[in-house]
Amino acid sequence: MPSVLKSRQGRPSVAEMRADLQALRKPTAKVMEDIFNKYYNACMATEPPRKDIVVQEPEVNWKALIMSLPKPQNSTVLGCGIRKIHLAETECIYHGVYRFHVEHLDGSRAVFDFRDAYDDSYHTYKDKSFKHDVELALRAAVLPQLVQYKEMLSKDSQMELVSHISGVALPWEKAVVQHFPITLHSLIDAFLNEHQLQLEQVKLEFCGDHGYKIKDRDLADKWRIFHRSQAHYRIISTDEAMEQDHL
């Protein structure tokens, strides 16, 4: 009877085969959390913070991670292929929001949140939303109302907007709409209390423009109605906005 050991000579071991299979899988959520924090901290370590940094993690199967994103987001993010992965500040209504970006072979870029690739029974990213992400989605939902207020003042004055703090005339791009005297956080708290919800219970979904949007369309409409009836604003400059705790 031939020896089992002899029959396996020249073939990979079980451990080697497992390692080969592991390389084809997406990394664990913990690995991705550590990678994100590593490069985010590297960006925050400079003054001013870096807006973009190339992610050098050759052991990560980025394609497998991206293809685990919800459809059709996965195909859009993968695009024509991966040239580089970046961690970069994302263009949205909040300052300082960082996400992974895919630099495609044709030079275009697509942004994604790695947490969207782990929406399964072993992870709780979607069962409990992150506070910052919910605030981002709630602010994005009412952004047109802030723009409308700014446009209304601009038309009424027929001139540059004026800071309510300094009285200085401001061009459109230097004028910021601030919730005042009631902060946006106070409005959010009041709305959630009215609907007996915790911030972490507001379900989100991916949004290409702002990162996240409210998944429940009915709840989003109720929030817009509530915000329109309760919110008050003032105009301040971009420099003054940097010194404010709330916008």
- Is 161 strand, coil or helix? strand
CB-side neighbour CA atoms (13 Å) of 173: 0
7-40 pLDDT, tens digit each: 556 665 545 545 554 555 788 888 898 999 999 9
Q: What is the pLDDT along the chain (247 residues), one digit of tens a residue?
A: 455 445 556 665 545 545 554 555 788 888 898 999 999 999 999 988 999 999 999 999 999 999 989 888 899 999 999 999 999 988 765 567 889 999 999 999 999 988 888 866 556 565 556 788 888 889 999 999 999 998 888 876 556 788 899 988 888 888 899 999 999 999 999 999 988 888 888 888 777 677 778 888 999 999 999 999 999 999 999 888 888 877 7
- Is 86 strand, coil or helix? strand
Residues sharing a CB contact under 8 Å with residue 198, sequence separation 6 or more, in sequence order: 192
**Cα(189)–Cα(227) distance, integer angstroms:** 12
**Cα(51)–Cα(172) distance, integer angstroms:** 24
Q: Any bridge partners for residue 101, and if so which? A: 86, 111
Sheet holding 109-112, edge to edge: 52-54, 82-89, 98-104, 109-112
**pTM summary value:** 0.54
Q: Any bridge partners for residue 97, and if so which? A: none
